[in-house]
Amino acid sequence: MKTFHLPDLGEGLPDGEITKWHVNVGDVIKIDDPLVSIETAKAVVEVPSPFSGKVAKLYGAEGDIIPTGSPLVDVEGDEKKDSGTVAGEIKVGNEVIAEKATSIGNRATGIKVLPAVRALAKKLNVDLNMVVPSGSDGTITAEDVKKASENLQSAGPLEPLKGVRRAMAMAMSQSHAEVVAVTIHDDVDITSWVKEKDFTVRVILAMIKACQKEPALNAWYDGQAMGRRLLSQVNIGLAMDSHDGLFVPVIKDAQEKNPQQLRSEIETLKEQVSSRTIAPKALQGASIVLSNYGKFAGRYANPIIVVPTVAILGVGALREQVLPINGKPEVRSVLPLSLSFDHRAVTGGEATRFLAVMMDALK
């Protein structure tokens, strides 16, 4: 009696769902006969038999979840060595072993890898998603993996992310996994007030007005409950860069504050972030986020939404541009805006109306 266990179907996936059995108890099978189709988080894989004999037992019914490494099927008869691969013709002795390349889960369509090369990557701690393939038809070779391993060694030791940077990485991963993000871009002519210089307060005032007109963007989204909470308070998170990582302190009830109060609170938050004295409570409760990356560089961006908020506004670098004014060319001061929104909670109409209200306020 030989028991075949569910092998790893790709990049450490923990389990798979039985979608279809291709054999029944009592069937006589041969090596490489299809046993079962397994659906993982990445694909449906047809698992072949690694040996011949009569099927004695099937572990699980269609629809069952089988953990990787758990028994899948018992077979009586010939007991060929289980190679542990999931695809390809596996023969023992002096015969040729022919393997079939499988795709990389997180890579673009067409990138493939052989089981033996996958095993080598695991041994050398090489992430296959970071390897450039040189084989035919986009196949990653053993030499590609070895080269990637050498590059890792020459790059120096791995620096684990800690504290603020670790929290940022986790927040960004959550956003990438959950949020259905869309970004729209536009420019606004701010020539009439550009000499006042306080762009941040002006933008915050425009955001407050837009939130009051289009409250769908001043909200929290609950992915598990598939619902949103529209908020009456406008709590604006300000993305602030620091040596230790990204902080997003929050101006609570911004709609109740005048320009002088907003500027004073911004300065206080900047000082607290710089000195690392900011309280955790001051980093919580944002209902919408502002990122003024343009003070460094960059015209447009794709700002990342911080869960559970549903929108973030990015402000790019101010520039001068020749525009037609009353039929004549004039040099104007133009501020680029990038608005990202979660399309699960916000419609395109709501987002564009929000941006239009902001632009009118900024003009």
pLDDT in tens, 150-195: 877 776 677 777 777 787 888 888 888 888 999 999 999 999 998 8
Ramachandran area for residue 246 (φ above 0: left; ψ -120 to 50: alpha; else beta): beta
Residue 93's pLDDT is what?
Answer: 37
Spatial contact of 112 and 144, defined as CB atoms under 8 Å apart:
no
Give the pLDDT of residue 331. 95
For β-strands 311-315 and 288-291, DSSP reports them as: parallel
Per-residue confidence (pLDDT) for residue 103, from 0 to 100: 58
Residue 169 confidence (pLDDT): 83
Write out pLDDT tens, residues 45-62.
788 888 899 999 999 888
* pLDDT tier for residue 345 given thresholds of 50, 70 and 90: very high
For the chain, which residues make up each domain, given as ranges? 2-154, 164-362
Confidence of residue 212 (pLDDT cuts 50, 70, 90): very high
The neighbour count for residue 42, using CB atoms within 10 Å, is: 16
At residue 41, the pLDDT reads: 53
**With contact defined as beta carbons under 8 Å apart, do 21 and 63 qualify?**
no
Go through the chain and tell me how many residues it has: 363
Q: Residues 235-263: what's their mean pLDDT?
A: 92
Q: What's the pLDDT score for residue 303? A: 93
Q: Cα separation of 200 and 207, whole Å?
A: 10
What's the pLDDT at 40? Answer: 65
What pLDDT does 64 receive?
84
Per-residue model confidence as pLDDT tens digits over 61-98: 888 888 888 898 999 976 544 444 444 443 333 333 34
Separation of CA 299 from chain center: 23
Quick: pLDDT tens for 8-32: 775 456 777 888 899 999 999 998 8
User: Hey, what CATH class is 164-362 in?
Assistant: alpha beta
Q: What is the pLDDT of residues 96-131, one digit of tens each?
A: 334 455 556 544 446 777 777 888 888 888 888 778
Whether 39 has a pLDDT exceeding 90, the answer reads: no
Residue predicted with more confidence, 315 or 16: 315
46 compared with 330, residue with greater pLDDT: 330
Residue 218: the pLDDT is 96
pLDDT of residue 343: 95
Q: What is the pLDDT of residue 258?
A: 95
Mean pLDDT of 137-153: 82
| 145-152 LR contacts (CB < 8 Å, sep 24+) | 145/117, 145/120, 145/121, 146/120, 148/121, 149/124, 149/125, 152/125, 152/126
pLDDT in the model for residue 140: 86
The topology (CATH level 3) of 2-154 is: OB fold (Dihydrolipoamide Acetyltransferase, E2P) (2.40.50)
pLDDT of 43 reads 56
| pLDDT score for 175 | 85
